[in-house]
Amino acid sequence: MIKTAATNNNLDINNILSKYSYQVPRYTSYPTAPHFSDNITEKDNRKLISDIKPNSSISLYFHIPFCEKMCWYCGCATRITQRYSPVENYIHLLAREIRQVKSLLADNITVSHIHFGGGTPTILSPKDTDYLFKIIRENFTIQDDAEIAIEGDPRNITAEKTKSYKDNGVNRMSFGVQDFDIKVQEAINRVQPFEVVYDAIKNCRDSGIDAINIDLIYGLPFQNLKNFERGVNYALLLKPSRIALFGYAHVPWMKKHMKMIDESALPDTNLRLELFEKATEILLENNYKKIGLDHFVREDDSMYQSYINNKLHRNFQGYTTDSAKNLIGLGITSISQFEDGFMQNLTSIKKYEERLLNKELPTNRGIIISKNDKIQRDIIEKIMCNYEVNLNNVIKDWDISIDNIFQNTELLNDLIKDKVISMDNNIITINKDMYPLVRIVASIFDEYFTASEKRHSSAV
């Protein structure tokens, strides 16, 4: 449980955390997605892809938007289907997009990371998984040490599927477990007993996929310290390489299905903090290392090695070991991250298909970023990954004045006054008790953000 009035110069830590518990971006990009423009064209997207330097490495993200059932907590772009034919058709559309992207790339581009997200990527049949990987390998050169990861639903994992993943080079599986308590599961429309998760992970390991991630969510309806502690211990029994501990973002004005959740059963701010703190305590006691805002990893995991060597990064998949400067997103709603901008695909499958059949990229919106955007992106990523940023290095690397860095000096001064951060010789460090406010600290450098915005999740 969070201690109050005993540390941090006798400040009431809970009160400070609550004071800054307003909606703020997760900073998986900068500028963040709400600031993308509809004025960006397909021509802009083509140029960003064509401008990727020869002999460089890229990452690929594939969005599989289909689910068999809606989870009421979900903030992802999904399509519910009981039929498989829309999924099969979509895979052939992805193949078209892959070929179009490939035709724009310079020579000798290699792929260092591949990530399949959703929706539910594990909804694919082994046949379609094999077909998709065949197309990928025909068009891209995948590095021998590339990480290839798939987000999975334990409820549709089979031994046949995990064998297909292994045969196609998949070396990491990430399972959205969220919570093991049956009452919580029923309240979010995601019932999956421990045995189902156990069998899914066993199938992966039996097939030779040993790197396993588990996602847990705190702040869900009917969670309390007792049942959530039990759930964390259940997760530990599965011995995952990584555990992500995400805070539930209740945004029913954006995601209508969240209205199915009983708001009166949601934990309040103080309980959310206690849930996170208790889970953190348990994970640290079991030799997991805390990384950034919400990740806990074993010492032998590649993410920990990246962290201790100051090589950790953050993108639309969250914290990552991926150091490629360009990430190309394929599939509806997917976002590409380039050195000079961001591009997002269309959200409609029908329009996505029309564009591809017309031999056009399915561009929907995006942003071309300025030098100042790149500077702020650099600073924000360092804060999000390391809880600290040395502005002297930023000034030197970008040849700028420190006066051009801060976007919200009033917030900066408030955070220093409240001992959320310290600033010494232009080095900003977040005080350990205040790590949950890392996104608030990052917002000091966000010229687009105002605290009155109502399109983000709460900072705590």
Distance CA(108)–CA(97), nearest Å, equals 19
Instruction: Give yes or no for residue 21 having a pLDDT over 90.
Output: no
Cα Rg for the chain, rounded, in angstroms?
22
pLDDT band at 19 (very low <50, low <70, confident <90, very high): confident
> Which whole number is the average pLDDT over 161-166?
98
> 370-449, what's its fold?
Arc Repressor Mutant, subunit A (1.10.10)
pLDDT band at 1 (very low <50, low <70, confident <90, very high): very low
The enclosing H or E element of 3 equals none
pLDDT score for 459: 54
pLDDT score for 5: 33
pLDDT band at 7 (very low <50, low <70, confident <90, very high): very low
pLDDT score for 450: 77
Instruction: Give yes or no for residue 140 having a pLDDT over 90.
Output: yes
pLDDT score for 449: 87
* Percent of the chain with pLDDT strictly greater than 90: 86
Start and end residues for every CATH 1.10.10.920 domain found in the chain: 370-449
Model confidence over 396-407: pLDDT tens digits?
999 998 888 998
pLDDT score for 436: 87
The string of DSSP codes covering 199-264 is: HHHHHHHHHT--EEEEEEEES-TT--HHHHHHHHHHHHHT--SEEEEEEP---TTT-GGGGGS-GG
Residue with tokens 């330097």: 53
Start and end residues for every CATH 3.80.30.20 domain found in the chain: 24-330
pLDDT score for 125: 98
> Which whole number is the average pLDDT over 408-413?
93
At residue 159's C-alpha, the angle toward residues 127 and 69, to 5°, is 75
**pTM confidence score:** 0.92
How many whole angstroms from its chain centre is CA 129?
A: 23
pLDDT score for 451: 61
Residue with tokens 């477990």: 177
Instruction: Note whether 211 and 301 are within 8 A (CB).
Output: yes
The candidate with the shortest Cα–Cα distance to 64, out of 242, 329, 337, is: 329
pLDDT band at 8 (very low <50, low <70, confident <90, very high): very low
Instruction: Note whether 304 and 291 are within 8 A (CB).
Output: yes
Residues sharing a CB contact under 8 Å with residue 62, sequence separation 6 or more, in sequence order: 94, 114, 115, 116, 117, 121, 132, 329, 330, 331, 334
Model confidence over 294-339: pLDDT tens digits?
999 999 999 999 999 999 999 998 999 999 999 999 999 999 999 9
What burial letters (b/e) apply to 27-41, b meaning 16+ CB within 10 Å?
Answer: bbbbbbbebbeeebe
Least confident of 13-17, 28-32, 34-38, 348-352: 13-17
For 24-330, the fitting CATH number among 3.30.499.10, 3.30.1300.10, 3.40.50.1820, 3.80.30.20 is: 3.80.30.20
Model confidence over 356-395: pLDDT tens digits?
999 999 999 999 999 999 999 999 999 999 999 999 999 9
The candidate with the shortest Cα–Cα distance to 328, out of 124, 105, 169, is: 105
Instruction: Note whether 447 and 441 are within 8 A (CB).
Output: no
Instruction: Give yes or no for residue 452 having a pLDDT over 90.
Output: no
Q: Measured over all CA atoms, what is the biggest interatomic distance in the chain, rounded to whole angstroms?
A: 65
Residues sharing a CB contact under 8 Å with residue 132, sequence separation 6 or more, in sequence order: 62, 91, 94, 95, 124
> Which whole number is the average pLDDT over 34-45?
95
What is the residue type of 111?
Answer: V
Least confident of 15-29, 32-46, 179-193, 246-260: 15-29
